Amino acid sequence: LLCIHFTPYYSLLFGFMGFVGILHLVGITKEAHLFAYFTSIARLITGTIFLCLFYLGTIDMLGLLVGLYDISYALLYLIFRSRL
């Protein structure tokens, strides 16, 4: 499209970001807490996958940073979820 070549793993990354964005949009109009919970679970799963891919040497530092960010964001939400 823009002559940018992505590896399959970066396509996975952008697909994940789009999926989480759709969950956020649905959460605006529907039950926000339920969809925030779904988003945190999706972030835990994909963050773990990104960490595994980094340790296998398949993706670079960007994947590691995204994985760490997603896991920490999801854990913060799940820890403080009962207080919301």
Residue pLDDT, tens place only, 57-83: 887 888 888 889 989 989 998 898 877
Residues 54/67, Cβ–Cβ less than 8 Å: yes
Instruction: Name the DSSP class of 30.
Output: S
CB 48 within 8 Å of CB 71: yes
Q: Per-residue b/e over 46-67, b at no fewer than 16 CB within 10 Å?
A: bbebbbebbeeeebeeebeebb
AA identity, residue 49? I
Residues 11-51 pLDDT 10s? 777 777 788 788 878 888 888 888 888 888 888 988 898 88
| pTM to 2 decimal places | 0.73
